[in-house]
Structure 1
């Protein structure tokens, strides 16, 4: 079991799901049916956010079971499962397998984020160091079309067929799926900026989102008297614990610490998270609350508990600022609310990925395809849902181009004598 869990953490860490590999023989119609029944029932019994959704899950069974007689290949079955899971419009629910023309996962496979504002698709965040930023996409621009298809038209096929009402949350997920694109197609983004239309090509000369590489598990340096540690999407890698310990030891004489979690879109595991937090506290404290709704649904008995984090040797006791943003997701969000709940850090940034709860992984009995769904709700210790947390300290919205407004604010809060 432990080996399976460790393997799962590695898979969750990856920015993209594994592509569908060649399979020996297709399943029989009965096996496709049994796999689909297992999938539908597992979601029905364990998914814990139906109350937030407009999804009619019983109708999902009817709609997609009706398509099973036409399924004769692995690829067709993957597409059916993708479409069925997309009915939840939940970025924390995903398959482990994808096709070349599958949509990239959100937020790990996205380099910008868009929201509808007064009927317009407005860019609200751009991922630092990736194609969208490189070609000039900036917050405040209006997204008009992707690959020459107007956004309103492009998002319609991605809206669930079972929805009782198409709510704003479903539209936002579909909109960002359009923006992120598919694994095998380069994107042309048509935007309006300062009254003028522009075409941007974030995947030229290469599709950077298909080949994400980092210099290391983390980066660290000293800025004046302040230490700085940036986590490079490695919260699911147990080797990060030793790397973090080493970096923090080198920075032990600093007057404050900036912990940058803005590039942690791939999630992680609680062992690594508690190890990092444990170096920043001096006594055992609660850092988040769990709730498992399935037990209430099945037995009428409420199950909830508070998770603790314990201090580790050589605690760093100076002030800490945590930087977060749209690509701070899942375990990164957990560390954020944990350090804030424990009164151990000031949080600076924008809203995070707002991923729902904690996921559990399952595997279909015949195809072997794996999938993840949220099965536990997560809260700050005081009861605030993790996905609703927004930092009180925000970066300067009108910061000059080329400056890191969030880092600059963190340094001011820590009273650093010099700028980076």
Structure 2
């Protein structure tokens, strides 16, 4: 075998490898600097929610660029960018990669939602079917410690170092990041309930949040005369369109329908969203407004658009209720405000994930991963920011966890009384 032939075989093998395997050679200091410059500048020019933040983005550059001389591995660089991105305290901004000890994504990788009430960290929602619910965590419980660390100390490392003021939004996200935990450390949550302390272990015997599985793209059933469809976190899967169509056709004879979007934390795409909404319309209508701040920032010309949804075959015209909660996220939130704008559904539940805008993905020029940030502001057609929308009918979760109060409320609205 000639040397030239061996080289040709080696070249073909290398070129055939995935990019992530071909790019394992360590980067040079100049390449890390180039990637950091691209990261910082791209966010400066395209992130569209700086006006809502206490973030000093030039200060972020000073803080994290000073750490670059000590960066020599991919893992170190990932951690540096994670920390820099955390300065935005925006759970719709993320890297496309993670480390074993990276925080789980909020809300996709969480099973509990909490906020500060009168200065105390309190559970406001628990994700059905996951570890936190299984071990007895319930709304109303006060959080005392996370992995034996008092809550205030646990959230301190998750608060940005550049913030002019640590506002309520920053503290809330830091609290929920701390509760989400990382990808390898089992959580111990210490709570106070009825005057007593309890230790709960939501990742024992296994961390369900690391291995989330669903029986299908959706599930459905008939509850008396009412149809019920729950989307199982599949709004980004185009196969959901056919599955939804056939399911809705099977429920065509019902007196009303409940569309449950409470398990859609990973977002989705507008093709699936418009396909779902289109099955409930008989004429074209706008469902969402977009704004593009980067264009206005660059040229001084404001740009906004209305997105239209068109009717599809066999529209379902009976009453519709949409159920939402903290794990209704991104595209789930878009469908919700869409149905509200279309005047086609009653929205029942609690506040949603409140994710900011629509994201765009960018890729670093030398590293093998990218990052995602909100670049478009999204609004209800009435001008209300999507992240501020709350249901017309607000129903709090059952603090005992024995009754699905939102579902019960929806059924009460839709059930047809039996004829005497």
Q: Matches of 1:213 and 1:132 in 2, distance apart?
A: 16
1:374 aligns with 2:374: yes
1:223·1:416 contact (CA, 8 Å) conserved in 2? no
> How far has the Cα of 1:129 moved from its partner?
0.5
> How far has the Cα of 1:368 moved from its partner?
2.6
1:349·1:395 contact (CA, 8 Å) conserved in 2? yes
Other-structure match for 2:15: none
Cα distance change on mapping 1:42 and 1:235 into 2, 3 Å: same
Equivalences for residues 219-298 of structure 1 within 5 A: 219-298=219-298
> How far has the Cα of 1:24 moved from its partner?
2.0
Other-structure match for 2:198: 198
Other-structure match for 2:76: 76
Other-structure match for 1:359: 359
Deviation string, structure 1 residues 243-265 (Cα, Å, up to 9, x no partner): 00010000000010000000000
Deviation string, structure 1 residues 242-295 (Cα, Å, up to 9, x no partner): 000010000000010000000000000000000000001110000000001111
For structure 1, the 5+ residue unaligned runs are 1-19
Other-structure match for 2:118: 118
Other-structure match for 2:140: 140
Q: What is the TM-score of this pair, normalised by structure 1?
A: 0.93
Cα distance change on mapping 1:233 and 1:87 into 2, 3 Å: same
Q: Matches of 1:110 and 1:396 in 2, distance apart?
A: 19
> How far has the Cα of 1:398 moved from its partner?
5.4
2:397·2:404 contact (CA, 8 Å) conserved in 1? no
Other-structure match for 1:316: 316
1:408 aligns with 2:405: no
Q: Matches of 1:416 and 1:228 in 2, distance apart?
A: 15
Other-structure match for 1:12: none
Compare CA radii of gyration and give the structure with the larger one: 2
> How far has the Cα of 1:416 moved from its partner?
4.5
Q: Matches of 1:191 and 1:167 in 2, distance apart?
A: 24
Cα distance change on mapping 1:21 and 1:59 into 2, 3 Å: farther
Q: Matches of 2:80 and 2:282 in 1, distance apart?
A: 50
Q: Matches of 1:26 and 1:324 in 2, distance apart?
A: 45
> How far has the Cα of 1:401 moved from its partner?
4.0
Q: Matches of 2:264 and 2:217 in 1, distance apart?
A: 11
Cα distance change on mapping 1:82 and 1:216 into 2, 3 Å: same
Other-structure match for 2:169: 169
1:334 aligns with 2:310: no
> How far has the Cα of 1:369 moved from its partner?
1.2
Q: What is the TM-score of this pair, normalised by structure 2?
A: 0.93
1:224·1:417 contact (CA, 8 Å) conserved in 2? no
Q: Matches of 1:298 and 1:164 in 2, distance apart?
A: 25
> How far has the Cα of 1:26 moved from its partner?
1.0
Deviation string, structure 1 residues 150-185 (Cα, Å, up to 9, x no partner): 000011111101101111100111111110100010
Cα distance change on mapping 1:22 and 1:390 into 2, 3 Å: farther
Q: Matches of 1:144 and 1:119 in 2, distance apart?
A: 12
Q: Matches of 1:23 and 1:75 in 2, distance apart?
A: 14
2:397·2:406 contact (CA, 8 Å) conserved in 1? no
1:385 aligns with 2:385: yes
Q: Matches of 1:168 and 1:411 in 2, distance apart?
A: 36
> How far has the Cα of 1:399 moved from its partner?
7.3
How many residue pairs match? The answer is 399
Other-structure match for 1:13: none
Secondary structure of 1:410's counterpart equals helix
> How far has the Cα of 1:417 moved from its partner?
5.1
1:399·1:405 contact (CA, 8 Å) conserved in 2? no
Other-structure match for 2:159: 159
Deviation string, structure 1 residues 347-374 (Cα, Å, up to 9, x no partner): 0000000000000000001003111000
Q: Matches of 1:85 and 1:282 in 2, distance apart?
A: 43
Other-structure match for 1:87: 87
Deviation string, structure 1 residues 182-214 (Cα, Å, up to 9, x no partner): 001000000000111000000000000000000
> How far has the Cα of 1:409 moved from its partner?
0.3
Other-structure match for 1:61: 61
For structure 2, the 5+ residue unaligned runs are 1-19
Secondary structure of 1:99's counterpart equals coil
> How far has the Cα of 1:396 moved from its partner?
5.5
Q: Matches of 2:400 and 2:362 in 1, distance apart?
A: 47
